[in-house]
Amino acid sequence: MAECNHDCGSCNKEDCGIRKAPMNPKSNVKKVIGVVSGKGGVGKSSVTSMLAVLAMRMGKKVAILDADVTGPSIPTAFGLTEKALGNEEEIMPVITKTGIKTISVNSLLEDETDPVVWRGPVVGGVVEQFWSNVVWEDIDVMLVDMPPGTGDVALTVYQSLPVDGIVIVTSPQQLVGVIVEKAVKMAKMLDIPVLGIVENMSYFKCDECGKEHKIFGDSHIEEIASRYGVDKVAKIPMDPMLAARCDSGLIEFFEGDFLDELAKEIL
């Protein structure tokens, strides 16, 4: 059997397991960055949203593909209530206030509170359709909000989409640090570069004394990043205003420079 050169365009195999999903002919996406986490509840969707907003502020044409099909959060963060329109072959993305193009399963459901009770292969097929059927047009950078963990959908994204690299989101707890290492190792197994690690809820800064309080204990993120050769680390404080922006659909107007250096590097 011939060795795979990862060039699907020159290959006639249909079942090799790494064939990339075809892009919509009306789309041209230059860079794809996945945002992942080893477990849920660490703020992955918030980080995805903020990186997209920062890219937009840098003058990029930006899109978000919400691959967290069973737990979609992107429409809520951007205050999107409009439904995606389309037909059997094409889907039009829903556009945010500042022009970020998005697609999410909540943009297709009649009632966004309806649960998505689908098995892994079906969810994976939806992610591929989001890539292939949505008319993205010209996009400089697409952020893919991945589901937590290292399961079926994460594997589908890595193998079906031309992912240029990933950003891993975590929180300071030691247990989460172990899970971060699993996410890093999965990416390396699939030859996906880890562009940076974001530690969310890293500390709380007191308004009165200005002191930083580490609510979840000391951070170990630099140690993990150094161990795996990841150069870029960002830390996001616990900020009630930031949480309020997400909950009220106003993430496009967030303030803070905690992700600026990471965004400049990867975007």
pLDDT computed for residue 6 by the predictor: 41
Contact residues for 146 (Cβ-Cβ < 8 A; gap 6+): 34, 35, 36, 37, 44, 67, 68, 153, 154, 157, 166
* Burial per residue of 144-163, b for 16 or more beta-carbon CB atoms within 10 angstroms, e otherwise: bbbbbbbebbbebbbbbbeb
pTM: 0.88
Extended beta strands in 50-111, E state: 62-66, 94-95, 101-103
Dihedral pair phi/psi, residue 212, rounded to 5°: -90, 125
Kindly tell me if the per-residue pLDDT of 262 is higher than 90: yes
| C-alpha distance from residue 3 to each of 10, 11, 20, 159, 220 (Å) | 13, 11, 17, 17, 40
pLDDT digits (tens, 9 = 90+) for 29-70: 999 999 998 777 889 999 999 999 999 999 999 999 999 988
Q: How far apart are CA 32 and CA 157, in angstroms?
A: 10
Kindly tell me if the per-residue pLDDT of 91 is higher than 60: yes
Q: How far apart are CA 51 and CA 56, in angstroms?
A: 9
Contact residues for 141 (Cβ-Cβ < 8 A; gap 6+): 30, 31, 32, 33, 55, 60, 61, 62, 63, 267
Say which residue the tokens 């309080």 belong to: 213
Residue 204, classed as helix, strand or coil, is strand
pLDDT computed for residue 116 by the predictor: 73
Mean per-residue pLDDT, 163-175: 86
Q: How far apart are CA 172 and CA 214, in angstroms?
A: 9
pLDDT computed for residue 10 by the predictor: 45
pLDDT computed for residue 227 by the predictor: 87
User: What percent of the chain lies above the pLDDT cut of 90?
Assistant: 54
Looking only at the bridges linking them, the beta strands covering 62-66 and 138-145 are parallel
Contact residues for 78 (Cβ-Cβ < 8 A; gap 6+): 49, 96, 97, 100, 102, 249, 251, 252
